[in-house]
């Protein structure tokens, strides 16, 4: 190939980056524009910054509750799926279980199913079948944590499996010879070595749970509503609180952006079912 000057490429990528970033910037612009200025001529350049929408969101006890729910549900789900996924991977890696490859593939199919199809059956099961007297899992945080396992647990299993497989078997066998219990081997020998992989899985499952909307919108009413569903409550047919909506969006975006900077290179592998190593 001919040696070309790199500047056209830089220019091209500046343009692409602009196209990528501008919509996010626009979200920010709307969020710091007071509502009475919104309907004047849209302007790309910020005249002044008004944090009123943000203070309104933080000052709203309902939205604070939603934020808390989002935080608790996604953290609970991430910890639960990573723990279960780690145990499952250890079992798949170290034990000679019959049909374990079928089990592995079966867990993955759980993630490929379209969530819209499961809205109705999950709703019916949660309201009519999974109930003890008056208590149902509908609109509870623990219910949402368990429901999110359907897509996060398969993800955790297939991202963790190579991690666990990569820990040499000789290490835990040596520990067994020294008389350690199986539980002790997992927690004190295998777990410390798996930490980097576990951290990536924990972070990505956390983001997926945080970002989820559809299931949260149908399976919660008030008590366990998450921030993403709170966002859609501000879009009504009678009129939309644009500034508030933008501010909630920014709040939902921030944790994901922080996470993004940490695990950027693992995102592609995670989103492509591991078919492409990022």
Partner 1 sequence: MASKMENIDKPIDILDDANAPPIAEKSGFLPIETNWFDRLFISVVIWVAMSLLWFRFIEPLGLSIWISNVIALALAAFIIAKG
Partner 2 sequence: MKSNTFGWILLAPTIVVLFFFGVLPFLYVVYVSFHQWNPFAANPYMIYNGAGNFRQIVFDGAFLASLGVTVAFVFFAVLTEVIVGYLLAQAFMSDFPGKAFFRTIHTLPLIIAPIIVGSIWKLMTTPSIGIIPHLLQSSVGFDLNIGQSAAAAFIITIIMDVWHWTPLVTLTLIAALVSLPPDPFEQAQIDGAGKWQIFWHITLPMIAPAVMATVFIRLMDALRIVDEVLMLTGGGPGSATRYIGVHIFREVFPRTNYGYGSAISVVVLYLTIVACWLLYTGMLAPRKPRKS
The binding site for partner 1 (CB under 8 A) comprises 101-102, 105, 108, 158-159, 161-163, 166-168, 194, 196-197, 200, 266, 269-270, 273-275, 277
Contact code string over 41-70 relative to partner 2, x by CB under 8 A: xx-x--------------------------
Q: Is residue 191 a contact residue for partner 2 (CB under 8 A)?
A: no
Burial of 241 (0-12, 13-18, 19+ CB in 10 A): middle
Sign, Cα dihedral of 189, 193, 199, 201: negative
Q: Is residue 6 a contact residue for partner 2 (CB under 8 A)?
A: yes
Q: Is 80 helix (H, G, I), strand (E, B) or coil?
A: helix
Stretch that binds partner 2, among 45-53, 61-69, 146-154, 187-195 (CB under 8 A): 146-154
Stretch that binds partner 2, among 45-53, 56-64, 83-91, 193-201 (CB under 8 A): 83-91
- Residue (94 or 161) nearer to partner 1, CB: 161
Contact in structure between 138 and 124 (CB atoms under 8 Å): no
Which residues are CB-neighbours of 59 under 8 A, at least 6 positions away?
Answer: none
Instruction: Pick the binder of partner 2 from 107, 159, 163, 205 (CB under 8 A).
Output: 107
Please work out the total of residues on this chain that contact partner 2, with binding judged by CB under 8 A: 96
162 binds, among partner 1, partner 2, none (CB under 5 to 8 A by kind): partner 1
Residues 7-36 touching partner 2, rule: CB under 8 A, are: 7, 9-10, 12-14, 16-17, 19-21, 23-24, 26-27, 30
First-to-last C-alpha distance (Å) of the chain: 26
200 binds, among partner 2, partner 1, none (CB under 5 to 8 A by kind): partner 1
Instruction: Pick the binder of partner 2 from 71, 79, 125, 241 (CB under 8 A).
Output: 125
Q: What size, in residues, is the chain?
A: 278
Residues 170-189 touching partner 2, rule: CB under 8 A, are: 176, 182
Strand partners, 135: 132
Q: How far apart are CA 176 and CA 120, in angstroms?
A: 48
Which residues are CB-neighbours of 169 under 8 A, at least 6 positions away?
Answer: 94
To 10 degrees, what angle do helices 191-211 and 242-271 make? 140
């Amino acid at each position: 190939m001919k040696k070309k000057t790199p500047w056209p490429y830089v220019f091209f990528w500046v343009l692409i980056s602009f196209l990528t970033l501008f919509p996010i910037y626009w979200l920010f612009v709307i969020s710091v524009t007071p509502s009475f200025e919104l309907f004047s001529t849209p302007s790309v350049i910020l005249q002044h910054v008004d944090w009123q929408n943000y203070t309104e969101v933080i000052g709203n006890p309902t939205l604070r509750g939603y934020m808390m729910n989002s935080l608790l549900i996604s953290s609970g789900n991430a910890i639960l799926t990573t723990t279960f996924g780690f145990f499952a991977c250890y079992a798949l890696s170290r034990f000679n279980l019959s049909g374990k490859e079928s089990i592995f593939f079966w867990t993955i199919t759980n993630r490929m199913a379209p969530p819209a199809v499961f809205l109705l059956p999950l709703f019916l099961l949660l309201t009519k079948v999974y109930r003890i007297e008056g208590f149902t899992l509908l609109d509870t945080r623990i219910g949402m944590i368990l429901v999110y396992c359907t897509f996060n647990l398969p993800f955790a299993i297939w991202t963790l499996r190579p991690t666990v497989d990569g820990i040499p078997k000789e290490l835990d066998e040596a520990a067994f010879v020294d008389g350690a219990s199986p539980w002790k081997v997992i927690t004190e020998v295998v777990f410390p070595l798996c930490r980097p992989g576990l951290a990536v899985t924990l972070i990505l499952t956390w983001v997926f749970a945080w970002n989820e909307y559809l299931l949260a919108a149908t399976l919660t009413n008030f008590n366990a509503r998450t921030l993403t569903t709170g966002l859609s409550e501000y879009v009504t047919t009678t009129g939309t609180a644009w500034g508030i909506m933008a501010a909630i969006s920014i709040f939902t975006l921030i944790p994901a952006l922080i996470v993004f900077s940490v695990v950027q290179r693992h995102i592609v592998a995670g989103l492509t079912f591991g078919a492409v190593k990022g």
